[in-house]
Chains A and B, each alone.
Chain A
Amino acid sequence: MKKILVACGSGIATSTVARSALEEDLKNKGINMKELSFDQTSIPQIPSMASDYDLVITTAKYTEDVGVPIINGLPFLTNIGEDAVVDKIIAELGINK
């Protein structure tokens, strides 16, 4: 099981959008969703939560080193470069079919 944490400024709006877009994209690529779990949080909570996750995705810029890979998920909001970021996430998690 790979655990993904999706974070935005408040943990309400844009992380919800990014998470649902990512789940949809991964399903469309035939990824086994049963092997993945998703949680949402706010950016200030990342340092205290990150160690429980395999990957952190943020919609805002985040450059702190929390010991876990961080990927910028802004493309899930703008749709610009969305495919590339999904491929990056799949590669980072090593969940290629």
Chain B
Amino acid sequence: MSLIHPELIFQNKSFENNESALYFLADKLYVNKFVKSTFKDAVVDREGKFPTGLPTGKISVAIPHADSAHVIKSALGVMTLDSPIKFHNMGDPDSKLDVSLIIMLAIGEPHGQITMLQKLMGIVQDQKHLEQILAYEDKDSLYKDLHHTFKDIKV
């Protein structure tokens, strides 16, 4: 099964703050049975202790996640934001980043999914690809891009 699912992709969403964005996306993972009911609070709790905003350049990305104990099957929840939301910087929690793309990781293996994580970082480190991800006008185009990027990874 693929890591990318149309029902876990959202475009141009608006939220008051990062917590409501995290709850929204985590809930979609939950109702689609990728994670347990405990995942939501675990993600928000973890974000508070160990923030996941990455200072990747003009377009910053957050990669919220939680312990694999809360995960049923691995998947990625992807959400682009209408206007950026503040996330704390992973490397320096005292500073905040304007995040335009949230990729929520549900990782079911205790030692991570190395190939998936490497592909993900390939996207995160590529500002051109990030620009393209934010620019897609319809969900189908975004889905096809992500599906293609992660197509070799089976979960």
Contacts and interface: CB of A to CB of B under 8 A. Distances in A.
Interface of A: 8-10, 12-17, 20-21, 40, 43, 59-61, 72, 74, 77-80
Interface in B59-75: 63, 65-68
Contact of B54 (A12, A72, A78): A78
Interface residues of B, number: 31
Given A10-B66, A60-B93, 9 more contacts: A10-B67, A13-B105, A16-B111, A16-B112, A20-B118, A43-B50, A59-B90, A74-B54, A77-B124
Contacts, number: 74
Interface string B117-143: 110010011000000000000000000
Interface of B: 46, 49-52, 54-57, 63, 65-68, 90-93, 105, 107, 109-114, 117-118, 121, 124-125
